[in-house]
Chains A and B, each alone.
Chain A
Amino acid sequence: MSTASETQGSSAAEGKKKAPAGERVADWADGRLGIYSLAKANMRKIFPDHWSFMLGEVALYSFIIIILTGVYLTLFFHPSMNEVEYHGSYTPMQGVQMSEAFKSTLDISFDVRGGLLVRQIHHWAALIFLAAMFVHMMRVFFTGAFRKPREVNWVFGFLLFVLGMFTGFTGYSLPDDLLSGTGVRFMEGAILSVPIVGTYLSMFLFGGEFPGDDFVARFYSIHILLLPGIMLGLLVAHLILVFYHKHTQFAGPGRKNTNVVGMPLLPVYMAKAGGFFFLVFGVIAAIAALFTINPIWVLGPYRPDQVSTNAQPDWYMGFSEGLIRVMPGWEVDFWGHTLVLGVAIPLVIVFPLVLVAIAVYPFIEAWVTGDKREHHIADRPRNAPTRTAFGAAWIAWYFVLLVGGGNDLWATHFHLSINAITWFVRVAFFVLPVVVFMITRRVCLGLQRKDKQKVLHGRETGTIKRLPHGEFVEIHEPLSQEQLHTLTAHDQYAPLEIGPRTDENGVERKLTRGQKLRARLSKGYYGESGQIPKPTREEYREIESSHGHH
């Protein structure tokens, strides 16, 4: 193979017409890397156009920005907890005792030109990274884009989100300031609450008693190496799968489950996606220029006997803060041991539960529907009322916990009692998701009815006509074939029938609990209360013929 292509190359070079330089470089690379076969499948790859399909790109680009700025920050940051006295250029800290980690962060902010900007870009990009992953995940969820064949990619994305949370936590803890130190202390308390091994885990993590001299250095290697390394691997796998599966698209004329309609990677998406990276970077740089974030110089260095109110984590850890704030203080003593339920239940049980609830949903839905086909058409949220209601309920759950995590700011800004807010969150944690679930499903069904009306009777024009005999009617404008197709293109499942209780021979069929549960869930999803049957061609024709053509 290689000899063949080399001879080919040399003969081409000897020929009168020399290939352009770019092509010769590509030939060289292809001879060693095989890039042509890779490019053949991907260079003109089609991507559908929709703004919500770009949310994942926001996450991807902010991750790249975080890596770029993070590498810069490592050039100046000293991950050391040695105590030093500050004599740098920030006057209000003169002579204050602090760790080297804190001092070097002050130096980055006040003595390195542009250091402050890079720090702020890094931190803003981190907040936006997590928020973008969140909205991206919600887009995938509400359009059903997690269905086969994309379940594994959903899990990869979920892991990226969870790892992102912990990378963020270890990152903002590095400057060893009073705010983040309080967060680390909270983490120590949480670890201590783990039954049986809690004290050992804590001693091993902190190299002895809290705070010790080690955690900044340890968090540093976790923050810059271990977690980002795993995330990078997952990210690459995530993107490979996106390319391999090809993007989902919304239903529409010419858009089918078996094709993908859109613009080619080269040149349109190269320009759009490439350009979007610069747009995201530009917006984040401007935010970092105009708005300060984590001003550690007013927070002060960490001391375990000092604290400030407004002690909260960055937003993505806020729901765990809410959990821990609203939990009653349960503690059980028995046989000389203490079970710290007040900390262990929220952090060891409910915290993972909130996250896992959304992660496993695709598998639950796949089990309920029993559908093993591939799905490449994105659902409109209204056409999957139960799923949409679950998603909305989950967001409500998450939001209630965020409110709990910021209860002191709600109290001061809305002149409320912090105790009342805490009680509200305790109740809402159980009640609100149920209420939101019911309301969302109703709204979805209402929207389905509206679509059905539109298909059968046309669009309401708002123009009122008076008929000769005095009756007023609103003129309805029939939909185009494109619209009719788009509004009726979605799948509707029939509820799973459990079948007769006895088989042909009159022997009672044995039904497992799982089968019964599945049938009940399926009825809830796709029974009469779960969806409005979409208009049929017969209904349409009947109405059309009775009205005559408009």
Chain B
Amino acid sequence: MSSETGPHENVSDENLPGAQDKSHGELARKDDPFADPGLPPHEHRIQDIDERAAKRSERAVAFLFTLSMLATVGFIASFVAFPIDKIIYVWPLGHVSALNLALGLTLGVALFCIGAGAVHWARTLMSDEEMVDERHPIAAEPAVREKVIADFKQGAKESAIGRRKLIRNTMFGAVALVPLSGVVLLRDLGPLPEDKLRHTAWKKGKLLVNENTNEPLRPEDIAVGSLTFARPEGLEHHDEDFQNEIAKAALMLVRLEPEDIKDKRELDWSHEGIVAFSKICTHVGCPVSLYEQQTHHVLCPCHQSTFDLADAGRVLFGPAGHPLPQLNISVNKDGYLEAQGDFEEPVGPAFWERG
């Protein structure tokens, strides 16, 4: 079989099976117990010999096609009949849209029945006699190969590309350079990073605005064991750059018993045990905020990085590489919480220039 379907090139025959394969061909010896007996004789289906069975199949196929037509009519009828906001209860699906259910099921039936009809037709009524197609090697005959190679050489020779090297080299140069224009055109896809990732909207004196009430927070709003989210004063939901700014400035506030705070700097930057940490995970930027108030741990829902808010936001578990940044806060003379400055390090995921 091997010689029929392709050349073997430099592989020693003893590694390749093949010797015994000859016996599988038509020339197989009669006494070979494993010889290929050839295609088994064709057997008839009931539909081939009994016209009544064939009629039954015909009716089944026609029934399926008719059902499909009816389902399409049903589809159009449901489209017209059901209001889009009609909700019905269907066990066990729940309270679902009548229109979606009706359209989907009628469309499903209409399509499925066409398919089922066609397949049933093919399986029961079309000839099921197996046919044999011979294969031909994919690779070309040696003569064809010779001709193609010769043609190519002739063409290459006539172009003189091998001889006139100046033309060839300058052409390669030109073709290699021209895509650069396209690369240059991509430049204005976005600005350069500069120090954009290093600053947030927090500044000294900015009040901490409660994300829920949009009012500035006071220390007494935050109890031990509670969780509060804040954004910098002046950043409003309708602002043009709200999404970009909140992506960096989102803040989470918890109050710990001051004696539970293990890190000195964290204690210095807290107010009466209230500590403010960035809500943006230092791994890839999900808002970490699964705060466990008894352990003071905060977990990220995306990749389970766990930080210890009682110990300077240290990483306890998971793929984050550095602690959550803390914001230095205190209270202003009116009794509101305010920032003492921006975060001292970039918030969110690490990057090459972070250092």
Chain A contacts to B: CB under 8 angstroms: 44-46, 83, 89, 97, 110-111, 113-114, 116-117, 120-121, 148-149, 182, 185-186, 188-190, 192-200, 202-212, 214, 244-246, 253-254, 256-264, 267-269, 271-272, 274-286, 288-290, 302-311, 324-331, 333, 336-343, 369-374, 376, 407-408, 418-419, 422, 481-482, 484-485, 488-489, 491-497, 522, 537, 540-541, 544
Expressed in whole angstroms, the Cα–Cα distance for A407 and B300 within the complex equals 13
* Best-buried of B32, B127, B285 by chain A (most CB within 10 Å): B285
CB distance from B143 to the nearest CB of A (A): 20
Given A148, A263, A283, A370, which contacts B6 in the complex, CB threshold below 8 Å?
A148
Chain B residues in 8 Å Cβ range of A97 = 237-238
Of B5, B40, B107, B118, the contact of A271 (CB 8 Å cutoff): B118
Other A-B contacts than A117-B104, A373-B8, 17 sampled, CB-CB below 8 A, are: A189-B284, A199-B351, A208-B244, A209-B196, A246-B135, A275-B115, A275-B118, A280-B115, A286-B108, A286-B109, A290-B93, A290-B101, A290-B104, A302-B243, A370-B11, A485-B34, A488-B34
- A482 near B40 with CB under 8 A, answer yes
Are B4 and A258 touching (Cβ within 8 A)? yes
> In the complex, which residues 247-272 of chain B have their Cβ closer than 8 Å to any Cβ of chain A?
247-248, 250
User: Which residues of A sit under 8 angstroms from B305, Cβ to Cβ?
Assistant: 329
CB closest chain-A residue, reference B127: A268
Q: Which of B13-21, B157-165, B173-181, B326-334 contacts A (4 or more CB under 8 A)?
A: B13-21
Q: Interface segment, B50-58, B148-156, B213-221, B317-325?
A: B317-325
Cβ of A186 and Cβ of B114 under 8 Å apart?
Answer: no
Contacting residues, chain A, for B244 (C-beta < 8 A) = 208-212
When each residue 111-141 of chain B gets 1 if its CB lies under 8 Å from chain A and 0 otherwise, what string results?
1111111110111001110111111011000
Q: Evaluate contact between B107 and A285: CB separation under 8 angstroms.
A: yes
Are the CB atoms of B304 and A485 closer together than 8 Å? no
Contact of B349 among A192, A205, A277, A305 (CB under 8 A): A192
**Known interface pairs A311-B301, A342-B320; A198-B352 also in contact (CB < 8 Å):** yes
CB-based contact B15/A484 at 8 Å = no
Do B352 and A195 have beta carbons less than 8 Å apart? Answer: yes
Asked if A491 and B34 sit within 8 Å, CB to CB, the answer is no
Chain B residues near A544 (CB, 8 Å)?
Answer: 33
Question: B131 near A262 (CB under 8 angstroms)?
Answer: yes
Contact of B283 with A by CB under 8 A: yes
User: Which of A264, A278, A340, A494 makes the CB contact (< 8 A) with B351?
Assistant: A340
Could you pull out 13 A-B pairs where Cβ atoms are within 8 angstroms?
A44-B131, A116-B97, A189-B283, A203-B190, A210-B244, A212-B190, A275-B114, A279-B111, A289-B107, A305-B211, A372-B9, A419-B317, A422-B317
- Nearest A residue to B28, CB-CB: A485
Q: Which residue of B lies closest to A491 (CB)?
A: B17
Inter-chain contact total with CB atoms closer than 8 Å: 390
Contact A278 B115 (CB under 8 A): yes
**B37 lies within 8 A of chain A by Cβ:** yes
Instruction: List B contacts of A45 (CB < 8 A).
Output: 133
Q: Is the CB–CB distance between A256 and B25 below 8 Å?
A: yes
Residues of A within 8 A of B108 (CB): 282-286, 289
Contacts of A288 in B (CB 8 A): 104
Chain B interface residue bracket vs A: 35 or more
Of B202-210, B286-294, B336-344, the one with at least 4 CB within 8 A of chain A: B286-294
Which of A244, A278, A371 has a CB less than 8 Å from the CB of B118? Answer: A278
Q: Is the CB of A254 within 8 A of B132?
A: yes
B309 lies within 8 A of chain A by Cβ: no
B133:A373 contact, CB within 8 angstroms: no
CB distance from B12 to the nearest CB of A (A): 8
Top 9 A-B residue pairs of the complex, sorted by shortest distance between their CB atoms: A289-B104, A189-B284, A282-B112, A331-B321, A275-B118, A278-B115, A254-B39, A286-B108, A279-B115
Taking a contact as CB atoms under 8 Å apart, the answer to whether B116 and A204 are in contact is no
Known: A257-B1, A303-B246. A327 touches B319 (CB 8 A): yes
B171 at the interface (CB under 8 A from A): no
Partner of A376, one of B85, B114, B135, B315: B135
The one of B189, B287, B351 in contact with A304, judged by C-beta atoms closer than 8 angstroms, is B287
Whether the Cβ atoms of B132 and A338 lie closer than 8 Å is no
Q: Residues of B contacting A329 with CB < 8 Å?
A: 283, 305, 315, 318-322
Q: Contacts A89-B85, A205-B189 known; A275 to B119 CB distance under 8 Å?
A: yes
Q: Which residue of A lies closest to B129 (CB)?
A: A263
Decide: A200 and B111 in contact? CB cutoff 8 A.
Answer: no
Cα distance A121–B97 in the bound complex, in angstroms: 15
B142 within 8 A of partner (CB):
no
Given the interface contacts A188-B284, A253-B37, A258-B134, does A373 sit within 8 Å of B2 by beta carbon? yes
Q: Which residue of B lies closest to A336 (CB)?
A: B355
Distance in Å: Cβ of B354 to nearest Cβ of chain A: 4
**Do A485 and B24 contact each other (CB < 8 Å), given the known contacts A271-B126, A305-B246, A419-B317?**
yes
Contact of B36 with A by CB under 8 A: yes
Closest chain-B Cβ to A301's Cβ sits at a distance in Å of 10
Asked if B193 and A210 sit within 8 Å, CB to CB, the answer is no
CB pair A537 B193 closer than 8 Å: no
Q: Assess whether B112 is in contact with A279, with CB atoms less than 8 Å apart.
A: yes
If A83-B238, A331-B321 touch, does A110 touch B85 (CB 8 Å cutoff)?
yes
Min C-beta distance of B202 to chain A, whole Å: 14
B190/A206 in contact, CB under 8 A? yes
Q: Which residue of B lies closest to A423 (CB)?
A: B317
Q: For residue B135, which residues in chain A have a CB less than 8 angstroms away from its CB?
A: 246, 257-260, 374, 376
**Cβ contacts under 8 Å, A256 to chain B:** 1, 24-25, 36
Chain B neighbourhood of A192, CB < 8 A = 197, 349-352
Nearest CB in chain A: distance from B300 CB, A: 8
Contact across chains for B349 and A189 when beta carbons are under 8 A apart: yes
From B32, B138, B229, B321, residue with most partner A Cβ within 10 Å: B321
Q: Separation in Å of the B264 CB from the closest CB of chain A?
A: 22
A339 to B285 alpha-carbon distance, docked (Å):
17
Q: A211-B243, A303-B246, A340-B349 are in contact. Are A204 and B189 (CB under 8 A)?
A: yes
Bound Cα distance from A45 to B131, whole angstroms: 10
Interface centre among B134, B290, B320, B352 (most CB of A within 10 A): B352
Residues of A within 8 A of B93 (CB): 290
Q: Is the CB of A311 within 8 A of B302?
A: yes
Contact B304 A325, beta carbon cutoff 8 Å? yes
B24→A489 contact, CB < 8 A: yes
- Closest A residue, CB atoms, query B110: A282
Task: Kindly list chain B residues whose C-beta atoms are within 8 Å of the C-beta of A113.
Answer: 79, 84, 99, 103
- Cα A256 to Cα B38 in complex, Å, equals 9
Q: Which residues of B contact A211 (CB under 8 A)?
A: 243-244, 247
A121–B111 Cα distance when bound, in Å, is 13
Residue B296 lies at the interface, judged by CB distance under 8 Å to chain A: no
**Which A residue's beta carbon lies closest to that of B1?**
A257
Q: Residue among A205, A214, A331, A341 with the most chain B CB within 10 A?
A: A331
Per-residue CB contact flags for chain B residues 223-238 toward chain A (1 = under 8 Å, else 0) read 0000001010000011
Please state if B321 and A342 are interface contacts (CB–CB under 8 Å). Answer: yes
Query: Whole-angstrom distance from the CB of A179 to the nearest CB of chain B?
Result: 11
> Which listed residue, A197, A210, A481, touches B37 by the CB 8 Å rule?
A481
Say which residue of A83, A182, A262 sits within 8 Å of B130 (CB atoms): A262
B113: chain A residues at CB < 8 Å are 282
Q: In the complex the two chains form, what is the Cα distance from A111 to B107 in whole Å?
A: 20
Interface centre among A110, A254, A282 (most CB of B within 10 A): A282
B247 with A267: CB separation less than 8 A: no
Contacts of A484 in B (CB 8 A): 33-34
**Which residues of B have CB within 8 Å of A325?**
303-304, 318-319
State the Cβ distance, A55 to closest chain B Cβ, in Å.
16
